[in-house]
């Protein structure tokens, strides 16, 4: 079998954000894929160094069209809506949660827990990665975050 042509292999890019605090501030980062390629968010990895806290809603990592939008992917960093992951339970990977179904790959044990490959990022279009603070109580948490996108 001959080796596939270049257009058959995705360009895999990892967007890494070190030591990000999920306290009271939400942070956004703009990305854009290689020219002429659309993308799918395949995974989100968090290496937690300080417990994720939010008594109403836990911190989350979103990928969408703007700040806080989840059009392309979402990973809420907790075992329940108000119970965040701890540094002792790290690292956490969205793709290793109890995901069901094919694209979009989801886990709905609580609202919006995990959703990968929800939709393709359109070619030549910017997307936004949002590191969203928890809400309620005293929101907190720190983690290294890696978002993996396959561009094809």
pLDDT per residue, tens digit, the chain (152 aa), is 444 455 578 999 999 999 999 997 899 999 999 999 999 999 999 999 999 999 999 999 999 999 999 999 999 999 999 999 999 999 999 999 999 888 899 999 999 999 999 999 999 999 999 999 999 999 999 999 999 999 99
Q: What is the C-alpha to C-alpha distance for residues 109 and 111, in angstroms, rounded to an integer? A: 7
Tell me the whole-structure pTM to 2 decimals. Answer: 0.93
- For residue 2, the 8-state DSSP code is P
Boundaries of every domain in the chain: 13-151
Q: For residue 54, which of 70, 74, 77, 73 has the smallest C-alpha distance? A: 77
Helices then strands, each counted (H, E), the chain: 0, 12
Q: For residue 130, which of 59, 79, 82 has the smallest C-alpha distance? A: 59
- In CATH, the number for domain 13-151 is 2.60.120
- For residue 47, the 8-state DSSP code is E
């Amino acid at each position: 079998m001959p080796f596939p042509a270049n257009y058959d292999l995705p360009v895999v890019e990892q967007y890494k954000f070190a030591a990000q605090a999920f306290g009271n501030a939400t942070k956004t980062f703009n990305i854009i894929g290689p020219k002429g390629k659309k993308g799918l968010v395949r995974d989100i990895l968090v290496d937690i160094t300080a417990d994720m806290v939010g008594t109403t809603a836990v911190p989350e990592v979103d990928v969408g069209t703007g700040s806080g939008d989840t059009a392309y992917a979402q990973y809420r960093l907790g075992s329940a809506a108000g119970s965040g992951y701890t540094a002792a339970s790290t690292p956490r990977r969205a793709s290793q949660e109890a995901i069901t179904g094919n694209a979009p790959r989801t886990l709905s044990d609580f609202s919006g827990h995990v959703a990968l490959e929800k939709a393709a990022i359109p070619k030549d279009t910017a997307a936004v990665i949002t590191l969203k603070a928890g809400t309620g109580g005293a929101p907190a948490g720190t983690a290294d975050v890696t978002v993996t996108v396959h561009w094809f």
